[in-house]
Chain A
């Protein structure tokens, strides 16, 4: 637990310390800094933690909170505000770990496989919309960044979709008993 908190704190610290470098370019701002902050929140939750409360059953409430946070930080005006207002910038460093990273990890652990599949499909299509929007928009979407930068951001989203879908699709081609064996192995560890 201790080392997880330490790494999470280090990531947040690095995101703050190097924020001027990271935020100068929308690609590193949105595709590096924001995911790292979410990751730092997820690190705070030990693996396979399933909340035993009745309100968190199925992970729905937690995932809705995480999706709300993601939706907010997908708004171009939120990104602009983070760059123009210190208050929003601070809120970014607090909310991405605590209101997206933590509930996403907790909710995911207790989510039904169908819900997980649904969220994965949503995530990929949303990334696709982002890629299309930023590569094709004829106007500046973020006041803080150049049109040529936002186009690169669009292609960045495209690369992310490629690797994320690879990550999620590859296991589907593995033989089914490979999963069964591996789960059998972990559960049959001698005490």
Chain B
């Protein structure tokens, strides 16, 4: 009988422990855990200045007029950043079609400022038809990078061939500078829905 109760106690403890460790069985990976945390906490993003492809300094943090949808890239990326760029282009088209052009800002942020100078940013913008009006390509200063990536939960690791692997997603930042939601890099409808929520 004691063995039975001890087993029940162990099972209850184990289940509670694993429930907490997985946010109620909803997040088994760091990526899903971060998305849940973003929706729950709406953390402020650091108020850094980004250098855009047109040479302007653009603030990312508070007091913006527009909601920002940001993605993290490096322009020499041969794979996922290109695909991500084409989804960003689709999102831009949707924003124009729905008349949200003056309310939503798209920024592709490079985390490789050493390689990505203005010329590279501009070229990346040209490839994806980002003209700077709604969608701009920018780079973060090297000194701002650690806290910027930390705040957005982006982990960048070297792939050993001069490139990087990184988690790619669309990050929705409301005009008050808070990170509201993170959606898959190809979830154009989701990004639009989450951006709309910040405008109400």
Interface, chain A (partner B; CB < 8 A): 53-58, 60-62, 64-65, 67-68, 71-72, 75-78, 80-81, 139-147
Contacts and interface: CB of A to CB of B under 8 A. Distances in A.
A122 to B, nearest CB: 15
Interface size class of B (residues with CB under 8 A): 20 to 34
A29 to B, nearest CB: 14
17 contacts: A55-B2, A55-B3, A57-B3, A61-B10, A64-B11, A64-B14, A65-B10, A65-B13, A65-B14, A67-B14, A68-B10, A68-B18, A72-B18, A76-B28, A81-B30, A140-B31, A142-B30
Contact of A56 (B3, B9, B165): B3
A38 B181 CA distance: 39
Nearest to B29: A76
Interface of B: 1-3, 5-7, 9-11, 13-14, 17-18, 21-22, 27-31, 33, 155, 157, 159-160, 165, 167
B2 A147 contact: no
Nearest to B167: A143
A78 B22 CA distance: 9
A57 B6 CA distance: 9
Given A64-B10, A68-B13, 7 more contacts: A55-B3, A55-B6, A61-B7, A65-B14, A72-B18, A145-B157, A146-B165
Contacts of B28: 75-77
A106 B120 CA distance: 61
B72 to A, nearest CB: 13
Contacts of B5: 55
Contacts of A60: 3, 6-7, 10
B82 to A, nearest CB: 16
Given A68-B18, A71-B18, A146-B157, A77 B29 contact: yes
* Residue among B6, B13, B155 with most chain A CB within 10 A: B6
Contacts of A76: 28-30
A34 B29 CA distance: 18
Nearest to B156: A143
Nearest to B15: A68
B33 A77 contact: yes
A72 B17 CA distance: 9
A93 to B, nearest CB: 18
